[in-house]
Structure 1
Amino acid sequence: MHPSSRAFLSLVAGATALFAAHAASAAETIKIGVAGPFSGAYAAFGEQQWRGAEQAAKDINAAGGVMGKMIELAKGDDACEPKQAVAVANRLVDNDGIVAVAGHFCSSSTMPSSEVYADAGVLQMTHGSTNPQVTDRGIPTIFRMCGRDDQQGVVGAEFVINTLKAKNIAVLHDKTVYGKGLADAMMAHMKSLGLQPVLYEGLTQGEKDFNALVTKVKAAKSDAVYFGGLHAEAGPLVRQMREQGIDAPFVSGDGIVSEEFVLAAGGPQYVKNVFMTFGADPRRIAAGKALVEKFRAAGYEPEGYTLYSYAVIQSITQAIAGTKTTDADKLAKWLKTHGAQTVMGPKSWDAKGDLKVSDYVMYKWNDDGKYEQMD
């Protein structure tokens, strides 16, 4: 045999062995993607997400795994950038071989990436994407562990009008799928209650100087400001409002559910009279008490979406255990039929993949820079 032929056969044999070893290794674990903003301005939400998912995987594995296999997480950083989210989705599917994905966080990332997962037959469950179009597009294998903006916006509007008694309401947003969608949902309900906004304006993500916009808010004699967006912009916006002498209530949504909001605002002194909508505080739910204590004992406060992310991994793995398969259609059908038991209590989903029960409530930021659920 010619030496080059031996070398070729040796190379083929080596590649075959490597592929077999990789396949065997892949078969030994159940790989789940965790996709979200682990870098950039919104990395605080990625930190919450990863903490929850990682702890869930550890706890499930400590209890024996699923079908005798260990859960393995594959991390994908989309930085809340739609194009990057698509690239992350392709990598998780093609290179990491995931069978399900927990994520993404931003609706603008979840929607384009969902096409990749749907085409690949990968179950997707987002812990934080609230834009209605996430589930309204008819993808049968996508779910959320959170509510929708057309639910959240209603709660926000009724609070501003019925509780705060505001009449001159400025509605602002960050021009994103999430931020504008939330602001529009709030404004639609506000209009149904008989009020028109005195100002409706968008700002640009990544900018920090909003003084020109604040001047417009002041000129409109706004007695309340509603903002659809995330903490990186909400913080400087509310600080500049206060610096220009606007003490009107500032109301936002679940995009500021992080103590990073206080840092972005420049300190607790700037978050007085700030309110937000978010699901009922999962740290108060009896089903998650032991987990909350475990996190705190380790020096981590499981704020925001931490327990949501934990619950996503629980739900996915319960579906795999219940169906004894990773087929996305079968997993989806099982979840819609059986629901899941989570650290946030029992969860059930409708035909779209939305939670059957949405529990949005109001929160207020206190003088210590902490948020508290309003009873």
Structure 2
Amino acid sequence: MLYRTISSAVIVSLLLGALSLRSAASAEADKSIKIGLNYPASGRYKEQGLAQARGALLAIKEINASGGVMGKPLELLRSNTASKPERAADNVDELVKQGAIMLFGGASSSATVAAAARAAEHKRIYFGTLGYDNEITGLEGQRYLFREPYSSYMAARALAEYMNTYLKDKKFFYLTAGSSEGWSMEAALRSFTGTQGITSHPAARTPFPNPVHRDFQAALRKAAESGADVLVVNQLGEDMVLALNEIYAMDLKEKMTVIVPNLTLGMAQAAGPGLMENVIGAVPWTWKVPYKYNYARGKQFVEAFVDEYQLHPSSSAASAYSIVYQFVDAVKRTGSTDTEALIAALENHHYKLLKDEQIWRDFDHQNQQTVYVVRSRQRDDIMLSNLREDYFEILLDVDETEMEEDEWQMVRTINDKPLVLQ
């Protein structure tokens, strides 16, 4: 009887101890608000991924120094997508399991779409941080997916403002990645520049993912033989760098104006000032924007980023930084981390942060914003600049580049998609 009593006491004691440890662990977990960055830490878009991590970490550092969110610190969970859709989706499961109440990140559009679809299954908001395919907020648009940077449609419309003025009646050649993102941009740019004719304005496709030197050499030989005046290099990340290397080796920049529709500072740095010289493209933001237009909050971000990392922020870093602040703003305005409350707070919300006014559109969750057309400066000027990172001269700022709601509805209707995000 004594043995049974002692054994029972020991068992009860052990159970209470286990419950106590579990409660302590749960209490520890509840001390922070967790968000999950789902980004490429490896692969051909790793530089853009690293920029996102830096931007997010700086935002979290600042927010926590100011008291956190609802009395709790913000905590960043991270997972590497390697820009692979299946991996990006699986990461969402793991990040949610670890306690993430919001997710963000991107580079490849297909990875963003896959991750956002999985986030919807968990009823979590997913912010696209990089990824230009029109389908993200078009055909694949859904209730839990928001995109902070611009779309291919928006970039193409801004670029067309420049190209239709300064490159009017020129012959174009499109060097396009064989991805939905590549096709999306080419189609939009052809439409807005009136270069739809494939005979008059030819194209070559490169494999996606992982094109190699010979792929670009073969495509660029066609470009050289075409007699084109304008070469549209519709490539991202390291693929753009490979293309520019071959363009330089073949002396094509002496014969053609080179357009890279979607540029980032990270891509420019990877290519280097010599290869980038005079390349024209579009950006949703560049660190020169706050200084050219006198946006005080944008200047604060740039200077804090340089102090923290001894680097200037790219648009990828700015996007991640802005998303964290917009999430926190929505939590503060609603007093809640409930997903449905946050969606309602974000939809049609107008704000100013790193540049002029931006809007989270309610019908498609695309961020409405100014788009900038830029040209890479001369090599010697870049080499003499602060940190050798002053790559871009702003040629134009273009607003109202977004797809109109009736056009968005037409695209959705043709493809049998609901006209209200679900």
Q: TM-score, normalised by structure 1?
A: 0.89
Please tell me whether the aligned partners of residues 39 and 82 of structure 2 are also in contact (alpha carbons under 8 angstroms). Answer: yes
Cα distance in 2 for partners of 1:90, 1:111 equals 15
Tell me, yes or no, if structure 1 residue 358 matches structure 2 residue 369: yes
Counterpart for residue 263 of structure 1: 270
Counterpart for residue 106 of structure 1: 108
Counterpart for residue 293 of structure 1: 303
Q: Map 1:112-261 onto structure 2 (within 5 A).
A: 112-136=114-138, 137-165=140-168, 167-191=170-194, 198-204=201-207, 205-209=209-213, 210-247=216-253, 248-254=256-262, 256-261=263-268
Cα distance in 1 for partners of 2:287, 2:199 equals 34
The amino acid across from 1:118 in the alignment is A
Q: Map 1:267-286 onto structure 2 (within 5 A).
A: 267-281=272-286, 283-285=288-290, 286=295
The amino acid across from 1:269 in the alignment is G
Cα distance in 2 for partners of 1:133, 1:278 equals 19
Aligned CA distance change for structure 1 residues 340 and 360 (closer, same or farther; 3 Å): closer
Tell me, yes or no, if structure 1 residue 39 matches structure 2 residue 42: yes
Aligned CA distance change for structure 1 residues 241 and 325 (closer, same or farther; 3 Å): same
Tell me, yes or no, if structure 1 residue 374 matches structure 2 residue 384: no
- Shift in Å, 1:193: 7.9
Counterpart for residue 414 of structure 2: none
The amino acid across from 2:29 in the alignment is A
Out of 329, 334, 338, the position equivalent to 2:340 is 329
Please tell me whether the aligned partners of residues 214 and 241 of structure 1 are also in contact (alpha carbons under 8 angstroms). Answer: yes
Counterpart for residue 348 of structure 1: 359
Q: Say which SS state the counterpart of residue 294 (structure 1) adopts.
A: helix
Counterpart for residue 84 of structure 1: 87
Q: Say which SS state the counterpart of residue 374 (structure 1) adopts.
A: strand
- Shift in Å, 1:37: 1.1
The amino acid across from 2:124 in the alignment is V
The amino acid across from 2:55 in the alignment is G
Counterpart for residue 311 of structure 1: 322
Please tell me whether the aligned partners of residues 166 and 223 of structure 1 are also in contact (alpha carbons under 8 angstroms). Answer: no
Cα distance in 1 for partners of 2:11, 2:158 equals 67
The amino acid across from 1:120 in the alignment is H
The amino acid across from 1:295 in the alignment is F
The amino acid across from 2:211 in the alignment is E
- Shift in Å, 1:263: 3.4
Cα distance in 2 for partners of 1:172, 1:7 equals 73
Cα distance in 2 for partners of 1:33, 1:360 equals 27
Aligned CA distance change for structure 1 residues 148 and 25 (closer, same or farther; 3 Å): same
What is the RMSD computed on CA atoms of the aligned residues? 2.6
Cα distance in 2 for partners of 1:46, 1:207 equals 20
Please tell me whether the aligned partners of residues 195 and 201 of structure 2 are also in contact (alpha carbons under 8 angstroms). Answer: no
Cα distance in 2 for partners of 1:138, 1:270 equals 36
Q: How many aligned residue pairs are there?
A: 370
The amino acid across from 1:128 in the alignment is L
Please tell me whether the aligned partners of residues 92 and 119 of structure 2 are also in contact (alpha carbons under 8 angstroms). Answer: yes
Cα distance in 2 for partners of 1:249, 1:167 equals 10
Cα distance in 2 for partners of 1:203, 1:14 equals 61
The unaligned stretches of length 5 or more in structure 2 are 383-390, 397-422
Please tell me whether the aligned partners of residues 123 and 142 of structure 1 are also in contact (alpha carbons under 8 angstroms). Answer: yes
Counterpart for residue 419 of structure 2: none
Q: Which moved more, 1:68-77 or 1:299-308?
A: 299-308
Cα distance in 1 for partners of 2:39, 2:236 equals 14
Cα distance in 2 for partners of 1:342, 1:296 equals 18
Q: Render the CA deviation track for 1:34-87: whole Å, top value 9, x for unaligned.
A: 121122221111121111110111111111111101100001111211111112
Aligned CA distance change for structure 1 residues 230 and 20 (closer, same or farther; 3 Å): same
Aligned CA distance change for structure 1 residues 165 and 3 (closer, same or farther; 3 Å): farther
Aligned CA distance change for structure 1 residues 221 and 15 (closer, same or farther; 3 Å): farther
The amino acid across from 2:276 in the alignment is V
Please tell me whether the aligned partners of residues 31 and 73 of structure 1 are also in contact (alpha carbons under 8 angstroms). Answer: yes
- Shift in Å, 1:140: 1.6
- Shift in Å, 1:296: 2.1
The amino acid across from 1:276 in the alignment is G
Please tell me whether the aligned partners of residues 146 and 279 of structure 1 are also in contact (alpha carbons under 8 angstroms). Answer: yes
Identity of aligned residues (%): 23
Cα distance in 1 for partners of 2:196, 2:274 equals 33
Q: Say which SS state the counterpart of residue 39 (structure 1) adopts.
A: coil
Q: Render the CA deviation track for 1:183-220: whole Å, top value 9, x for unaligned.
A: 22212323378886532221123233111111111111
The amino acid across from 2:284 in the alignment is G
Cα distance in 2 for partners of 1:3, 1:43 equals 59
- Shift in Å, 1:14: 5.7
